[in-house]
Amino acid sequence: MITVIGLDGAPLTDRAAAALSAAVCVAGARRHLDAAAEHIAAGAERVPIGDLAAATEAVLAARGPSAVLASGDPGFFGVLRSLRERGAEVEVVPAVSSVATAFARIGLPWDDAVVVSAHGRGDSGRGVRRALAAALAHPKAAILTAPGTAGPEAFLPELLRAGREVHVAQRLGSAEERVTRVADAGAGAVAAERSWAAPNVVVAVDPARAIAPTMAWLPGHQGAPSNWALAEERFEHRASLITKPEVRALALARLAPRPGTVVWDVGAGSGSVAVECARFGARAVAFERNPEDCARIRANARAHGTEVEVCEGDAAGALDAAAARLAPDAAFVGGGDDAVAAAVCAHRPERIVVALASLDRIRPLHDLLTSAGYTVGGSQMQASRLADLPNGSLRLAAANPVTLLWGADPTPSRPERHR
């Protein structure tokens, strides 16, 4: 039998102490082995966890009861998963998770928080991208960092730039525990350069939305919205310059917005696509050169309770700057010429959707996406909506047709593009 014991700085329970003293093999981080040393039998094998796979093999091969020491709750982003994947029979004695402790130290409820892990199973860069995108899209987030390139310094600059109040909770439950608040965006560079004690949890909170108006019924992001492809009337727009609901519905299906993804809305106009992607939990970035439209995008985002980053100005330079911080997973091109579409392709989002009202642009854009290595498809959307007639009958009122082209990157995995 393997007993997995969580440590949170509190004294071990009698159950945990008894299991530990009976173990012939004990695995754990060196700090955990040191913390529980008085309860480990003198003849027990001690296996420091550096290589998790090797430590798991040692525990499974033990000729007698064994124990694994872990931080907080071993079943919450912890070692329990690895043991169960190997078919091990385990007994768990959990402690308080580091996330629960971090929010307790700050004094905030966390039933409405998104909890993300930057541990990427050998692909820490991709783990950082997903974690950062999810944290930026949600008003309250906890990030379980990882040593090396996925530490707090990978997250602080962008979180601070977005106006988040950031806390770094270090060595929770130990004598070295420290919870540091970093609230000033101007301190981003300094915060990124300082040394942070591991393990640590980064908590990011939008000060304006620190306390949700209602208690969450589902932890974290609430999933797909109850309705989407919203009517034009739900958005402020200029002279009907808005992606129509029928077109938006197909675009959303091809963009696949969800937590952990970054979606660009290029030539955003009213920002309706960006707002809808944000409602699905994606990190949405809208690019628009018209200052009045930029103001409308911000107003639409606020009206729908979403977070949309608005990049005002010429698209080409803005795209480069945004990609340097957090590259896109998907992009919707609703405005701009072929050069803008080419600039989007250059940043290699996995999915691209282009909306076209002009027939003569279909072939060039199709060829552009194909030459960029995308698998290309398309559909013309020509919806006719029900409308009233004066005599009480109904008619179908035709909307202007729009062609959607979409490209999907067939490459199953690509090199990390963040930073």
Do the domain assignments include residue 215?
no
* Mean pLDDT score of the chain: 90
**DSSP 8-state assignment for residue 12:** P
- Cβ-count burial 324-354 (b if 16+ within 10 Å, e if not): ebbbbbbbbbbbbeeebbbbbbebbbbbbbb
What is the per-residue pLDDT for 416? 44
Do 365 and 254 belong together in one domain?
yes
CA distance 398 to 177: 65
Query: 9-48: per-residue pLDDT in tens?
Result: 999 999 999 999 999 999 999 999 999 999 999 999 999 9
Q: Give domain status of residue 283, yes or no.
A: yes
Write out pLDDT tens, residues 329-376. Answer: 999 999 888 999 999 999 999 999 999 999 999 999 999 999 999 999
| Rounded distance between C-alpha atoms, residue 66 and residue 1, angstroms | 6
Of the chain, the percentage scoring pLDDT greater than 70 comes to 94
Q: Which pTM value belongs to this model? A: 0.88
What CATH number is associated with residue 148?
A: 3.30.950.10
What single string gives the DSSP state of each residue in 200-212? Answer: EEEEEE-GGGSS-
252 assigned to some structural domain:
yes
Query: Does residue 218 fall inside a structural domain?
Result: no
- Among 67, 96, 125, the domain-final residue is 96
Residues 268, 374: one domain? yes
In residues, how long is the chain?
Answer: 419
Question: Which residues form the domain of 241?
Answer: 232-408
Q: What is the pLDDT of residue 289?
A: 93
pLDDT at 413: 53
Candidates 338, 340, 329; CA nearest to 362 is: 338
| Average pLDDT, integer, range 209-234 | 86
Q: Classify strands 351-356 and 402-408 as parallel, antiparallel or unpaired.
A: antiparallel
Q: Is residue 289 part of a domain?
A: yes
Half-sphere exposure of 351 (CA within 13 A, CB side): 18
Banded model confidence at residue 193, pLDDT cuts 50, 70, 90: low
Rounded to the nearest 10 degrees, the angle between the axes of helix 272-279 and helix 291-303 is 30
Question: Does one domain contain both 91 and 103?
Answer: no
Is the pLDDT reported for residue 235 higher than 50? yes
CATH of the domain at 27: 3.40.1010.10
If asked whether residues 140 and 246 sit together in one domain, one would say no
Would you say residue 225 lies in a domain?
no
Instruction: Tell me: do 297 and 382 sit in the same domain.
Output: yes
Per-residue pLDDT tens digits for 244-285: 999 999 999 999 999 999 999 999 999 999 999 999 999 999
Query: Are 176 and 197 spatial neighbours (Cβ–Cβ below 8 Å)?
Result: yes
Answer yes or no: do 46 and 123 share one domain.
Answer: no
Q: How far is CA 235 from CA 150, 253, 299, 321, in A?
A: 38, 20, 9, 27
* Domain identity same for 357 and 253: yes
**Local confidence band at 53 (pLDDT 50, 70, 90 cut-offs):** confident
What's the total number of domains in the chain?
3
Question: Is residue 384 exposed (0-12), middle (13-18) or buried (19+ Cβ within 10 Å)?
Answer: exposed
